[in-house]
Amino acid sequence: MATSKKETGAKAVLGKIVRHQLFIPVAALLILAIFNLIADPSFYKITLGYSNDGNPILSGYIMTILDYGSELAILAIGMTLVTAASGGQDISVGATIAIAGSVILRVLCGTESRPETLKAPIIVAFLVAVVVSMLFGAFNGVLVAYFKIQPMVATLILFTAGRSIAAWINNNELPIISDPKFGYFGGFIPGIPIPTTFFITVICVIIIMLVLKFTTLGLYTQSVGINESSSRLNGLNPAFIKFLSFVILGICVAVVGLIKVSRLSTINYSVVAKDIEMDAILAVALGGNALSGGKFNMTASILGAYVIQFLTTTLYKFKVQSDALPAYKAIVVIALVVMSAPIVRDWMSKTWKNLTKGNKAKEVA
């Protein structure tokens, strides 16, 4: 008797886990991890090597995932808030990353295209980029929140124009920065073998978690996303909260912009962060968040970002050609998205229940 009680308890716990929002991204990560483990355990090999200038660096596929997943994870933070508050997505993040990167280069290089020394401290350049990105976020936010334009349509403007603006900021030149310090943000800090991007992400995640814990941003954003009219009657200002979400996404964009230009020490306006908006939106969706807004789970979105990077890296590992990559990715994504659809999950839990019921009946018999 006691054991059977325990069993049902375990089952209830299992059901709870399956229904939890984190289930899909965590399960996806596990499946990918196990797949790699079986297919080729060398996937997990991490080697300590030395860079050209003699600094220790860890390398391996896991490091690649941590490194490149960071950009997506940071964007996913802002995209989650925008999605929750406005019930739509910002498709201009790739273009605004180009702008932010361009601004950083412009401030660091001044008018020269290959400066001997930096014209301004990197932190200043970054802060200017943050302000500029927030302004562009504010532009999107005003269109969405105050002019009530659909987010996709509103952000289509910058999606189209952003890269031209980025090029225009540097007079269409491609400045190159030779100062090695600038490379730290997208690479390694001497003496620390872990990619800097990982630390940047950790800082961003800590900040957003603190903000969610010590302010009411989460509650207000969800409330506005679920029911704008009733939020207003509870004293909230829905338009401002939507606006705010776009501005916060602007900050995230500036951080990613810094990482992107730091990796190359230069910029390619038409290619930098191309299609990244779609991956960011996908990260939010993989996290089980409704793209129509409302309730959200930040951790799930961030995990979703790493799932996408894990998948990409796995495909690279198996020598999938980069042209073919999107197609393979699409297949896996379809499977994941279908699995996380409420209908399918209901069906799964029902089937599961029936199966366990059947077993029980047999036991009794």
Beta carbon nearer to other proteins, 113 or 227 = 227
Spatial contact of 256 and 96, defined as CB atoms under 8 Å apart: no
Spatial contact of 138 and 243, defined as CB atoms under 8 Å apart: yes
Residue 221 CB, nearest distance to other proteins (Å)? 11
Place of tokens 């996913």: 76
Residue 301 contacts other proteins per CB under 8 A: no
Report d(CA 51, CA 360) in Å as an integer: 60
Residue 215 contacts other proteins per CB under 8 A: yes
Can you read off the two tokens belonging to residue 296?
A: 């959200």
Segment contacting other proteins by CB under 8 A, of 30-38, 57-65, 215-223, 256-264: 215-223
Backbone angles phi, psi at 251, to 5 degrees: -60, -45
Considering only residues 85, 100, 109, 236, which one is a binding residue for other proteins as defined by CB under 8 A? 236
Spatial contact of 349 and 19, defined as CB atoms under 8 Å apart: yes
Residue 222 CB, nearest distance to other proteins (Å)? 6
Residue 47 contacts other proteins per CB under 8 A: no
Q: How far is CA 149 from CA 86, 108, 145, 267, 278, in A?
A: 10, 36, 8, 32, 20
Report d(CA 197, CA 180) in Å as an integer: 16
Residue 353 CB, nearest distance to other proteins (Å)? 10
Classify residue 176 by its DSSP letter. -
Residue 86 contacts other proteins per CB under 8 A: no
Report d(CA 116, CA 109) in Å as an integer: 9
Segment contacting other proteins by CB under 8 A, of 97-105, 154-162, 202-210, 216-224: 216-224
Considering only residues 2, 123, 233, 365, which one is a binding residue for other proteins as defined by CB under 8 A? 233
Residue 252 CB, nearest distance to other proteins (Å)? 20
Helix (H) / strand (E) element for 158: namely helix 151-169
Can you read off the two tokens belonging to residue 318?
A: 């198996």
Report d(CA 310, CA 103) in Å as an integer: 31
Beta carbon nearer to other proteins, 317 or 345 = 345
Beta carbon nearer to other proteins, 3 or 229 = 229
Residue 232 contacts other proteins per CB under 8 A: yes
Residue 226 CB, nearest distance to other proteins (Å)? 5
Beta carbon nearer to other proteins, 231 or 314 = 231
Considering only residues 3, 117, 229, 321, which one is a binding residue for other proteins as defined by CB under 8 A? 229
Residue 231 CB, nearest distance to other proteins (Å)? 7
Considering only residues 41, 54, 191, 235, which one is a binding residue for other proteins as defined by CB under 8 A? 235
Residue 21 contacts other proteins per CB under 8 A: no
- Exposure string for 265-285, b = 16+ CB within 10 A, e = fewer: bbbbbeebbeebbebbbbbbb
Helix (H) / strand (E) element for 56: namely strand 56-59
Binding site for other proteins (CB under 8 A): 213-217, 219-220, 222-223, 226-227, 229-237, 294-295
